[in-house]
């Protein structure tokens, strides 16, 4: 991520803090919550948590949550907003260049969660991220991800001013397989991440570490 991109996101989260915009959880978070019940997983690490809407939701559901972001503004905002919740730990971590934290319960399965993160990465950074992620996961850990795929590239954007890279679900699946992760669920389409007038074309995937 370039310095300009980092400044963009710092300014964005600074604006969010000033407006105190308490967003409800994403549709993807609600979907993953039910999957966590089925998988009997009660701890989650959110990568690039942003303003924290999904981390707040997971923690409110009693899930031990670690919220990560590389933006200082996002981390400071999250600490002010949800540090009182005993189910949440907030850390400033660059998930591409730094090691991911150890889950609270080392002997239990953990879910890793990244919504609208993969498409913010250049290809070399995406490859590096999967390597970092895989090295942090143990057998039977899962990775939930939702991202704008190649079908979204030419659609109108509500916020067009920042970098996006549009990958095919096949390419993401290939990277996961190369890092010993197997896809156990996949769906693509519109209607999963509608926001105002924008209806992004996204892919949802769930991977399990083999």
DSSP 150-185: GGGTTS--SS-SS----B-HHHHHHHHHHTTEEEEE
Residue range 105-143, pLDDT digits in tens:
999 999 999 999 999 999 999 999 999 999 999 999 999
46: DSSP letter: E
Residue range 133-164, pLDDT digits in tens:
999 999 999 999 999 999 999 998 876 566 89
CB contact at 8 A, 130 and 176: yes
Length of the chain: 210
Nearest to 102 by CA among 128, 136, 75: 136
CB within 8 Å of 22: residues ≥ 6 apart: none
- Answer yes or no: pTM beyond 0.95: no
């Amino acid at each position: 991520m370039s310095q300009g991109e980092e400044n963009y996101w710092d300014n964005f989260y600074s604006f969010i803090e000033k407006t105190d915009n308490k967003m409800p959880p994403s549709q993807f978070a609600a979907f993953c919550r039910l999957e966590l019940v089925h998988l009997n997983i009660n701890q989650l690490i959110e990568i690039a948590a942003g303003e924290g809407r999904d981390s707040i939701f997971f923690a409110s559901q009693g899930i031990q949550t670690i919220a990560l972001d590389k933006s200082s503004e996002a981390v400071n905002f999250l600490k002010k907003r949800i540090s009182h919740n005993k189910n949440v730990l907030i850390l400033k971590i660059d998930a591409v260049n730094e090691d991911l934290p150890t889950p609270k319960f080392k002997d239990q399965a953990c879910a890793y969660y990244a919504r609208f993160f993969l498409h913010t990465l250049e290809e070399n950074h995406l490859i590096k991220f999967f390597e970092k992620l895989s090295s942090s996961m143990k057998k039977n850990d899962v990775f939930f991800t939702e991202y704008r795929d190649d079908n979204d590239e030419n659609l109108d954007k509500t916020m067009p001013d920042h970098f996006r890279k549009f990958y095919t679900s096949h390419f993401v699946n290939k990277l996961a397989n190369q890092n010993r992760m197997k896809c156990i669920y996949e769906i693509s389409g519109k209607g999963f991440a509608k926001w105002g007038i924008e209806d992004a074309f996204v892919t949802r995937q769930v991977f399990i570490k083999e």
